[in-house]
Structures are given as C-alpha cells and as structure tokens.
Amino acid sequence: SFPPSQAFFNRSWDPVMVPLLKFLQSTGSFLMLNVYPYYDYMQSNGVIPLDYALFRPLPPNKEAVDTNTLLHYTNVFDAVVDAAYFAMSYLNFTNIPIIVTESGWPSNGDSSEPDATIDNANTYNSNLIRHVLNTTGTPKHPGIAVSTYIYELYNEDLKSVSVSEKNWGLFDANGVPVYILHLTGSGAVLANDTTNQTFCVAREGADPKMLQAALDWACGPGKVDCSPLLQGQPCYQPDNVVAHATYAFDAYYHRMAMAEGTCNFNGVATVTTTDPGHGSCKFPGSGGTNGTFINGTSLAPSSNSMSSGCPSRYFYSSGAFMSSAMIGVFFWSAVFL
C-alpha cells in the first residue's frame, strides 16, 4: 500500500473491477474496503513501525512521504484507503467514495503474534474512532470522513484457525467486554465505563433471608452470570450471603446501566461509591471481567416478582449474552459516521 500513488488493482481483475466500478459510479454507491493495518504490520518484517500501524503520533522525520505526491502519511490506515483511491483513478474512476467495512486489531495471539494484545487492540480501535470522528479524512481527501466499521463485536472462539483470528472482538463469546473502549467524541461509552464509579451492595443489617431471596432472583430470573461465585472461582470467598448478594446486585445494577430503581431488591440493597471488589474478585463497576453485560429491558425486582425458583442454595445462571449494542452509533462490527 505504499506509496499509495502507485497502487493499482491486479490487471487480471479488470473484467470484474471495471464493470463493478461503473455500476458503483452510476448508482452513486461506495467501494467497500477492508483495512487491516495489523496484517500490513505483521507482513512487513519490521519495515512498518508499530506506532505507525496504531495511529500513535510520529515525529515529522518518521512520517511516510509519498515522493510522487509529497503527501505525508502518519498511519497505515490512511495509506491503504488512499491506495484504493489511486487504484480507482488508474482506471479513470475518481468520484467513488470508500467505506471501510472492516478494520480492527486482535487482542490475543500465539507466540508468533506478540503484538496481538489487549493494549494494542484498545489503542488501535480507540485511535481509529478518534481519527474518524475528527473528520480529518486522508491526505488525498482531507476533511472527508471515511465511514468505518470496527471488526468485530464478538470474539469467534470456535474458529479453528490461529489464536489471533479468534480474538478480534470487543466482547468475548459470553458478552463480557474484552477491554473498556471509550467512544471518544460520540457522547457514549461502550461496555463497563468507570468514569462514574458507583456500586450496588447489600445493605448493612439486611435480613439474611431477604438477601438470599434477592440473590436467588438475581442469579435466576435476573439473568446475572453468577458463575464467579461458584466454589473455586474468584468471588467465592468470603462464602456468605452478604458477599455473594453484593456481587450479584452489582452485576445486575451495571447490566441495567445503573438505571434508577435497579439497586433496591426490596430494600436490601443500596448504592455506594466504595468499590466492594477484593483480591482477584473484580466487580463490574470497577471495570472487572467477572460481570456479564446484556441489553436488559426488565425492571428491577419488586415484591411481586422476586422468587428463588431453585432448590439449591444459589441459582446460578451462566452464559448470559449481550443481545445488542446501540450507543448512538451502530455495531455489526461498529460503524462510525
């Protein structure tokens, strides 16, 4: 993809590309392009700096310059998009806009993929969002925002391919955020934001039987993933109804986006700003990965709706999934602009 000004489509594709571009031009449509700086970086054998792939700031003397156009490129994403524009112009198509239908970074990889990390995935996607929302465009088309879809919403853990190929998602297969992604500039935050840290905990002095009933409801009909409370799991200890109810209450509270009335549980719960997490037990409100977040529309439990419905000590409901994510922008992946 560099220099972009010398990019062209494989000439053997002309019988397909030319009619396709004619159709897109005549209908006022877009060329859809998948852009993966991660693969460009991995296949460059060290030629492409990691910072250049991740949108990190570069000193002027490190920026890539297309010697044919003297355009300066500060990231791989823009270079690839402009390469597609130049390739279309080589075939005399100069007014077809581009939509980036897939772009992202894997959060995990095997020993041969050391840069597939949570930190790099978060950095790339956060910087990509910022880049697109700033409407800076590309060096060839400044000021024209490139509509972009993030790949992808969920990890695909059942793929029988490389580790990195399974781990492009913002959420794991159970709907738990892989990392906390702030949609800077969009007025919304994906997953469990910690900007306003509040927690829902068991009220001091609450009736143990009412706490037990509320815990059973949260882990049952309330659809909280209470598997972290099972023996041997991070939040099993201390093994008492107050501690377990506190975890379940907080998970439900944050699953309901801290909506008013979702931290009551017939008066046995209350909101606090003190993080109840301890040791390896991380609570949803503190950005932990034990909680499960789904798109819930049910109300908080009331005296008419609370019931344990289970013969055992706790009714644990695991595997709750995030059913949708709409935060002012859409996710298929995720589209901005």
Give yes or no: 156 in active site. Answer: yes
Whether residue 329 has pLDDT greater than 60 = no
What integer best gives the mean pLDDT of the chain? 80
Pairing of strands 71-73, 98-103: unpaired
The band of 298, judged by pLDDT with boundaries at 50, 70 and 90, is very low
- Which of 22, 165, 209, 260 is catalytic? The answer is 165
- Structural domains of the chain sorted by starting position, each given as residue range(s) with its CATH number in brackets: 4-171+327-336 (3.20.20.80), 189-316 (no CATH)
- pLDDT above 70 as % of the chain: 79
- Judged against a pLDDT cut of 70, whether residue 295 lies above it is answered with no
Note every long-range contact of 139-145, with CB atoms under 8 Å and residues 24 or more positions apart, other chains counting. 139/66, 139/69, 139/71, 139/72, 139/73, 139/78, 139/82, 140/4, 140/69, 140/71, 140/82, 140/85, 140/86, 141/82, 141/85, 144/97, 145/337
| Strand residue runs (E) in the chain | 31-34, 64-66, 71-73, 98-103, 148-150, 182-183, 188-189, 199-202, 269-272, 334-336
Q: Looking at 22, 62, 63, 102, which residue is catalytic?
A: 102
How high is the pLDDT of residue 143? 85
**Predicted pLDDT of residue 22:** 96
334 pLDDT higher than 80: no
Most confident by average pLDDT, 66-80, 288-302, 318-332:
66-80
Q: Active site residue: 22, 62, 159, 209, which one?
A: 159
Mean pLDDT of 34-50: 93
The answer to whether residue 23 scores a pLDDT higher than 70 is: yes
User: Residue 314 pLDDT more than 50?
Assistant: no
Q: Annotated catalytic residue: which of 22, 156, 223, 282? A: 156
The mean pLDDT of 101-105, rounded to a whole number, is 96
User: Which has the minimum average pLDDT: 61-65, 212-216, 228-232?
Assistant: 61-65
Indicate yes or no: pTM above 0.85. Answer: no
102 is catalytic: yes
pLDDT in tens, 256-265: 777 777 898 9
At residue 19, the pLDDT reads 96
**Nearest one of 76, 68, 69, 72 to 48, comparing CA atoms:** 76
Q: Write down the pLDDT at residue 125.
A: 93
User: Residue range 136-160: average pLDDT?
Assistant: 89
Coil vs helix vs strand at 250: helix
- pLDDT value for 285: 66
* pLDDT above 60 (res 327): no
Nearest to 35 by CA among 88, 76, 66, 64: 76
* Predicted local confidence at residue 308, as pLDDT: 30
Question: Comparing C-alpha atoms, which of 201, 321, 287 is closest to residue 249?
Answer: 201
Average pLDDT over every residue of 208-228 = 92
Determine the pLDDT at residue 191: 44
Residues paired with 182 in a beta bridge: 189
Q: What is the pLDDT of residue 218?
A: 92
Cα dist from 67 to 5, 115, 287, 288, whole Å: 9, 30, 46, 48
pLDDT exceeds 90 at position 106: yes
Query: Is the pLDDT at 126 greater than 80, yes or no?
Result: yes
| 67-76, 91-100, 265-274, 321-330: range with lowest mean pLDDT | 321-330
239 has a pLDDT exceeding 80:
yes
Which helix H or strand E contains 85, and what residues bound it?
helix 76-90
Q: What is the pLDDT of residues 151-205, one digit of tens each?
A: 999 999 888 888 999 999 998 887 788 887 765 444 444 444 444 478 899 999 9
